[in-house]
A = this chain, B = another copy of it.
């Protein structure tokens, strides 16, 4: 099964993450997403909106793939491979946040860390009010020992309700436990009462169509202008900020414990 399942709903391109049990951002998933976004990124593609969803019932995406980040003796990873992986992730973030085609994310289930990063890169992020025990959303990077790079601070400030909330909740590695709480802080743009997955998708497509009705160049320039600081921080292609932290003792130690506890489950 492909890491991303694609389908078309009229001129909308739906990208359903379908990689393993929790949609960890594995190299094939990152490559597939990046390729789809790049191919759609022009009016000639005929794609007028990208809908990001998940094929997993309880998870949007669990974020970065820990197996790519561990440099324990039992792994094949080294600085070069970690840097290559992080570079591909950052390129995906840049491509999604700067997509010329309007984008939206439908968040059903768990959406921690890198999952929230993907949602934050879109133009509209929405969930149903139906509470599910497995729902979570937030930037919990610090809890696993990962310091947010500067572009992630900028992305958080661009989405959350205030610079203060971004500072406080990113430091705390806070995860919202309900769609309503996510909406309240700005993790989501809207929560639709009692919406089924189908109703939610229809709502998101309506929003994408509203954006697609705006003159193309003006809309694209408006988007890139509003996100200039964040996009610029990604444009130097520098991965050292994240890689230095990942290779440090703190992250390796926290990750080793986390992976051991996940294996037990």
Contact = CB atoms under 8 A, between A and B. Distances in A.
A49 interface: no
Contacts of A170: 222, 226
Given A142-B219, A217-B245, A218-B250, A167 B210 contact: no
Interface in A197-254: 210-211, 214-223, 225-228, 245, 248, 250-251, 254
A124 B162 CA distance: 15
19 contacts: A123-B168, A123-B171, A141-B222, A144-B218, A145-B215, A145-B218, A146-B218, A147-B222, A149-B225, A153-B225, A158-B163, A158-B164, A161-B164, A162-B162, A164-B186, A171-B222, A215-B250, A215-B251, A216-B250
Given A164-B159, A164-B161, A223 B171 contact: yes
A142 B218 contact: yes
A83 B150 CA distance: 33
Interface string A134-145: 000000011111
